[in-house]
Copies of this chain bind each other. A is one copy, B any other.
Amino acid sequence: MPENEKLSAIKDRELVEKRRTQMVKGAMKLFKEKGFHRTTTREIAKEAGFSIGTLYEYIRKKEDVLFFVVDAIYDQVRSRLREAMDLQYAPAENLVKVTEAYFILMDEMQEEVLIMYQEVKSLNKESLDYVLQKERDMVDMLKNVIIDCLPQNLSTTDAELLANNIFVQGQMWGFRRWMLQKQFTLKEYIERQLTYLKYTLHIPI
């Protein structure tokens, strides 16, 4: 968020960070259980371990909590995705490793991803743009990994679309769990999706 700084009346930056962490942790739990709209600011404050008055020393509006939560989720996903990309392999192997890591990550963060999908619309335009840019960045990371494996008949534009496909396939493991997780184990799911991807990219199985 651009004017991150102005959001809090508290001067001690470290304290702000600490309280925000408490807040995000508490709010995340509640949002998972009942969604943003059904969670009250009082509940958030209580779950975070401080009073409603204190909560409002660190935010201006309830919506700010949502922003901090969504932002934290994105950061978490991104940092873990980066880790996976730091291990350098040969292009095809790298794609497999990164995709696997991403799918495993999405499995672990199912609830958080659901929050993003269902509540993001409650953010204001500015926060939304900010957050969507983070998503674009992550897709770009995936895209670059794909580009390294691109066969001659596919372009970087294809890489972009395929990155989106993988991205959404990772998310769908969580938000379609009622359908997918009855049919597949995570391992099976990953294997099959990777197989389809390899066919598409003409990578030998």
Contacts and interface: CB of A to CB of B under 8 A. Distances in A.
A135 B175 CA distance: 13
A169 interface: yes
A15 interface: no
Interface in A152-191: 157-158, 160-162, 164-165, 168-169, 172, 175-176, 178-180, 183-184, 189
A147 to B, nearest CB: 15
A35 interface: yes
Interface stretch (A21-29, A88-96, A100-108, A194-202): A194-202
A178 B132 contact: yes
A177 B198 CA distance: 26
Query: How many of these chains are in the complex?
Result: 4
18 contacts: A37-B37, A117-B117, A117-B118, A118-B118, A136-B179, A139-B179, A158-B192, A160-B183, A161-B180, A161-B192, A162-B196, A164-B176, A164-B179, A165-B165, A168-B168, A168-B169, A168-B176, A199-B202
Interface of A: 35, 37, 114, 117-119, 121-122, 132, 135-136, 139, 157-158, 160-162, 164-165, 168-169, 172, 175-176, 178-180, 183-184, 189, 192-193, 196, 199-200, 202
Given A161-B189, A161-B193, 8 more contacts: A37-B37, A114-B121, A118-B118, A118-B119, A132-B178, A165-B196, A168-B168, A196-B200
